[in-house]
Amino acid sequence: MKKFLLAIGLMLSANVAFASGGGGCGTYQEPDPSNPENMLEHHYDCSKAPVDVTDKASLQRGAAVFMSYCVGCHSAKYMRYERMATDLAIPPELVQKYMMFTTNKIGDHINAKIDPKLQKQWFGNPAPDLTMETRLRSPDWVYSYLLTFYQDDKRPWGVNNIVFKDVAMPHVLYSMQQELGDEEYVARVGDLVNFMTYMAEPIQHDRKVYGFFVILFLLILLIPVYLLNKEYWKDVK
């Protein structure tokens, strides 16, 4: 119960820091204070993920967390090391030395350390690819999911999750949480989700910038078009 309440506390602290996101993110139960034999069910919204794909320092920290804790089982097969290094301004030699574990070619895609066939033998199914995970579920969902693991001795890995009940994944960030403390851990999870959001659509910031100028151009173009139309039809009654 203590670990469970800690998971709730992490999520609530994230809500205070970043405001509540929209949409339900799960339910949890706790004993009724007036009658401990009864369980009360609570609903809550996802925490708002601190996503800013223009913050390269955050993206670099998120990439380091992803490569250290996620790539053991998960791939990001639609992202290349070289693209990541270029976009995040990480020197290629540092990427090759500290972030590449399955290949020595920086132009390769990011693949899991553990072969998917072995994962299927060990876990029943291979771990999913994470390239598009934040687009599939939303950054807020992934952020809330990573913050809400709690101890559950009935589960095979000894943990459960509030957002994804009876999830098969262990709490792989537990050692980082113990090392950093809750506040810094929440910040690092935010960096990780920020990196995953970038990874799902590396050009999203450029797309939004170009879109703004396209709309601005069309609005400006509307003025001569309107005047030309007015001049063309002025003699028509």
Task: Report pLDDT digits (tens) over 100-141.
Answer: 988 889 999 999 988 888 888 877 788 999 999 999 999 999
Going from N- to C-terminal start, the domains of the chain cover: 2-202, 208-237
Of all residues in the chain, what percent carry a pLDDT higher than 90?
Answer: 57
Q: By the 8 A CB rule, do 162 and 150 touch? A: yes
Question: How wide is the angle at C-alpha 35 spanned by C-alphas 9 and 144, nearest 5°?
Answer: 20
C-alpha separations of 211 from 49, 87, 144 in Å: 24, 20, 30
Mean pLDDT of the chain: 86
C-alpha separations of 66 from 80, 105, 111, 178 in Å: 14, 19, 12, 17
For the whole prediction, is pTM greater than 0.85? no
The average pLDDT across 4-8 equals 51
pLDDT band at 16 (very low <50, low <70, confident <90, very high): very low
Least confident among 1-5, 162-166, 204-208 = 1-5
pLDDT value, residue 116: 83
Q: What is the dihedral of CA 66, 49, 61, 10, to 10 degrees?
A: -80
Q: Please check the confidence at residue 27 and state whether its pLDDT lies above 50.
A: yes
Q: Please check the confidence at residue 15 and state whether its pLDDT lies above 50.
A: no
The average pLDDT across 90-107 equals 91
The average pLDDT across 79-92 equals 96
Task: Give 47-75 pLDDT, tens digit per residue.
Answer: 999 999 999 999 999 999 999 999 999 99
pLDDT band at 33 (very low <50, low <70, confident <90, very high): confident
Matching CATH number, 2-202, of 3.20.20.80, 1.10.760.10, 3.30.230.10, 2.40.480.10: 1.10.760.10
pLDDT value, residue 115: 86
Q: Please check the confidence at residue 88 and state whether its pLDDT lies above 50.
A: yes
pLDDT value, residue 22: 44
